[in-house]
Amino acid sequence: MLDTDAFHDALAALEWQVDLGVDEAIQDTPVNRYEEQPVAPKKVAAQPDHGPAVQTTDPVAVAKAAAGASADLNGLRAAMSAFEECDLKRGARNLVFSDGNPGARVMIVGEAPGRDEDIAGKPFVGRAGQLLDRMFGAIGLSRGDGSLYITNVLPWRPPQNRDPSAEEIAMMRPFLHRHIQIAAPDVLIVMGNISADALLGRRGITRMRGKWAEVQGRPALPMVHPAYLLRNPVAKREAWADLLALKDRLD
């Protein structure tokens, strides 16, 4: 313990340094502020074991199982209505399943519903559908008289009528294959690029049109979509040639 004189001497020395402007205390030995200091390792808390990771659902596998379990068209429609893996369902008003006679010799597979089809719940009811009716009516085929059956690759309208994605086509393809299997038409009309992708595995409908192919053991005729003909009327001559080829095959 300091005596009284030493205390006053230390206090006087401190006051003198304060008067000189000193504002911090300095140690007897210098400190290197740039020297890297050792960092103690952080302790990591043990994570609880929740068991194996949860597997994500495979929408194609779900669709195959649902489609395969459908014994008839009513069951297939119910299975598609209950299918929750396709986000398009959440933005659509109606499921667009089919129109015409399921027992018809000719089955048309279109692409996806548009605004008019989404409202009506039936395929091909807008301007393109009206043109389709006139086209096939010219060779004596009509959905009204039971000689045509019509469906689409996708039963729900994509937003802003955009093209369906590859994932959307893949997950709905099992339902389409089962649809064709149950309806069992003599001839398939593959109408447009999306249906060509879904059923023939490739696009380029303007090059493929008019050339007979095979889908599920049935003759299939690729044709351009009526919406394309509305934008390109000059292509109607080729569409008429395709219709005549279909008529010859049926005869």
**Per-position pLDDT tens, the chain of length 251:** 556 666 667 767 767 676 666 666 666 666 665 666 565 565 555 556 555 555 578 999 999 999 999 999 999 999 999 999 999 999 999 999 999 999 999 999 999 999 999 999 999 999 999 999 999 999 999 999 999 999 999 999 999 999 999 999 999 999 999 999 999 999 999 999 999 999 999 999 999 999 999 999 999 999 999 999 999 999 999 999 999 999 999 99
Amino acid at 194: I
d(C-alpha 203, C-alpha 128), whole Å: 20
Give whole-number Cα distances, 43 to 20, 40, 46, in Å.
48, 9, 9
Domains and CATH numbers, the chain: 59-250 (3.40.470.10)
CA angle 86, 91, 94 (to 5 degrees): 90
Q: What is the largest CA-CA distance in the chain?
A: 130
**DSSP annotation of 220:** E
**What are the backbone dihedrals phi and psi of residue 106, each rounded to the nearest 5 degrees, phi first?**
-115, 125
Element housing 182 (H / E) = helix 166-183
149 and 143 Cβ atoms separated by less than 8 Å: yes
CA distances from 149 to 5, 140, 143, 155 (A): 116, 14, 6, 15
Output the pTM of the full model.
0.77
Residue 132: count of CB within 10 angstroms of its CB? 26
Q: Are 137 and 219 in contact (CB under 8 A)?
A: no
